[in-house]
């Protein structure tokens, strides 16, 4: 009987209690979690920004150890250490075959239903089915996930560092190294320096950016941004961020600008601080009703700007996760520095409040 954190309804605190877990079915594995990051998207389900069916076990940024495999699972065995991907990538559909596994047809179904790939559930409570966020459900001591969601990693990588790869690092580092086309010597602007934004910053430096302008309203996040490779800091509370970026770039704008918050006004700012011919990459998850207003001629056509959405850092998880763990082991990727607080599953509601108050980049739940 694993303990898990359940979102029963929008706006209610998560309920932490023991639940039932059915064994893995064909093509599935049972994973004992070692750690799970608390990501803004978990909070976004609890507060209604992201609409999914409830009740649901939240958590989608985890790493753990395979305990049991269902029929037909050949690539994993008990004892394997894995990072859980919140987009199961089948490797066979149109998108996977075109190098866009983040848009996998199979994977995106589980995101809408909160079930496993066959539409059924493994978590239950008093006989009632419980969903699991994005076929993951990492706010639980144990979970059952599709085998294609579990990516094997070296045993030497600490699980609390590996967990962060599952969402924030794949998304942020991937936005800079996969979604965007950053050239050696580029100037990059990053609007929003939370857990994902910090990874955009370190990804941009890794991709060759010479200058990275970090923009946020919270001094502690701007300090972290410098640790992660930002060369210039703009406190958006001290005046218009677009004006600042234009001043810093000889009125040209950034070669590549990233929005990592998900608000209409900051999306527009990000597009406006992108230079003519540059790229604006939209990473933050906005509320469903957010619309963006950009003058089509003066803002886009005449300026030949590229405005590109970014889902899961355009990551091909089966190759990108091993690549990222290797970069960590070689000292090219900061993971431990992302962790603001180590907590217990029982403290998950406090972690949500700390995130809302802008006190943390990442809280990480450690399981025993």
Return residues touching Zn ion (CB under 5 A): 39, 41, 90, 93, 96, 104, 167
Cβ distance to Zn ion smaller for residue 39 or 57? 39
3-state secondary structure of 106: helix
* 31, 142 contact by CB (below 8 A): yes
Residue 267: alpha-carbon gap to chain centroid: 18
> Could you tell me the smallest distance in angstroms from the CB atom of residue 7 to Zn ion?
15
Q: Rounded CA gap, 99 and 314, in Å?
A: 9
Residue 142 Cβ, how far from Zn ion at the closest point, in Å? 20
Q: Give the residue with the Cβ less far from Zn ion, 12 or 92.
A: 92
Shortest Å distance, C-beta 104 to Zn ion: 3
316 within 8 A of 146, measured Cβ to Cβ: no
Q: Smaller CB distance to Zn ion: residue 109 or 300?
A: 109
Least distance from Zn ion to the Cβ atom of residue 170, Å? 9
CB of 39 or CB of 176, closer to Zn ion: 39
Q: For residue 301, what are its two tokens?
A: 């056509």
Q: Which residue's CB is nearer to Zn ion, number 144 or number 165?
A: 165
d(CA 196, CA 315): 14
Query: Considering beta carbons, is residue 93 or 354 the nearer one to Zn ion?
Result: 93
**In the complex, what is the shortest distance from the CB of residue 58 to Zn ion, in angstroms, rounded to a whole number?**
10
Question: Which residues are paired to 33 by β-bridges?
Answer: 64
Distances (CA, A) of 316 to 77, 151, 313, 323: 22, 11, 9, 10
Q: CA torsion sign, 127 to 128 to 131 to 137? A: negative
Q: What SS3 string covers 40-95?
A: HHHHHHHCCCCCCCCCEECCCCEEEEEEEECCCCCCCCCCCEEEECCCCCCCCCHH
Q: With 0-12 CB in 10 A as exposed, 13-18 as middle and 19+ as buried, what is 264?
A: middle
Nearer Cβ to Zn ion, position 10 or 93? 93
Our CB check for Zn ion shows the closer of 93 and 300 to be 93
We find the least distance from the C-beta atom of residue 127 to Zn ion, in angstroms, to be: 30
User: Which residues make beta-bridge pairs with 188?
Assistant: 212, 256
Give the shortest CB-355-to-Zn ion separation in angstroms: 11
198 with 225: CB under 8 angstroms? yes
**How far apart are alpha carbons 266 and 268 in whole angstroms?**
5
CB nearer to Zn ion: pick between 90 and 109: 90
* Kind of pairing between the strands at 15-18 and 3-7: antiparallel
Q: How far is the CB of 38 from Zn ion (least distance, A)?
A: 9
Closest distance of CB 108 from Zn ion, Å: 9
């Amino acid at each position: 009987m694993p303990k898990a954190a359940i979102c029963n309804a929008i706006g209610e605190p998560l309920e932490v209690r023991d639940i039932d877990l059915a064994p893995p079915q064909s093509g599935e594995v049972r994973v004992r979690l070692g750690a799970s990051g608390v990501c803004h998207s978990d909070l976004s389900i609890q507060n209604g920004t992201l609409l999914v069916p409830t009740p649901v076990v939240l958590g989608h940024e985890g790493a753990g150890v395979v305990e049991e495999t269902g029929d037909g699972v050949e690539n994993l065995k008990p004892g394997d250490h894995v990072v859980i991907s919140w987009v199961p990538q089948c490797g066979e559909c149109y998108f996977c075959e075109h190098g866009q596994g983040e848009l996998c047809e199979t994977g995106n179904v589980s995101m809408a239903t909160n079930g496993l790939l066959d539409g059924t559930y493994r978590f239950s409570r008093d006989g009632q089915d419980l969903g699991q966020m994005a076929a993951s459900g990492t706010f639980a001591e144990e979970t059952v996930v599709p085998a294609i969601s579990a990516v094997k990693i070296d045993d030497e990588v600490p699980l609390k560092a590996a967990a962060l790869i599952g969402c924030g690092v794949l998304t942020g580092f991937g936005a800079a190294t996969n979604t965007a086309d950053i050239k050696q010597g580029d100037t990059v602007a990053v609007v929003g320096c939370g857990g994902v934004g910090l990874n955009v910053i370190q990804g941009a430096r890794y991709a060759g950016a010479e200058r990275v302008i970090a923009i946020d309203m919270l001094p502690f996040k701007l300090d972290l941004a410098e640790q992660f490779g930002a060369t210039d800091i703009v406190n958006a509370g001290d005046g218009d961020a677009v004006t600042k970026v234009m001043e810093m770039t000889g009125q040209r704008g950034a070669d590549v600008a990233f929005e990592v918050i998900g608000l209409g006004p900051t999306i527009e700012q990000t597009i406006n601080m992108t230079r003519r011919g540059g790229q604006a990459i939209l990473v933050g998850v906005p509320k469903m009703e957010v619309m963006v207003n950009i003058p089509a001629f003066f803002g886009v056509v005449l300026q030949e700007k590229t405005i590109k959405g970014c889902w899961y850092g355009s990551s091909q998880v089966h190759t990108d996760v091993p690549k990222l763990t290797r970069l960590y082991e070689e000292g090219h990727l900061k993971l431990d520095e992302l962790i603001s607080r180590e907590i217990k599953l029982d403290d998950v509601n406090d972690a949500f409040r700390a995130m809302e108050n802008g006190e943390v980049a990442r809280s990480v739940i450690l399981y025993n």
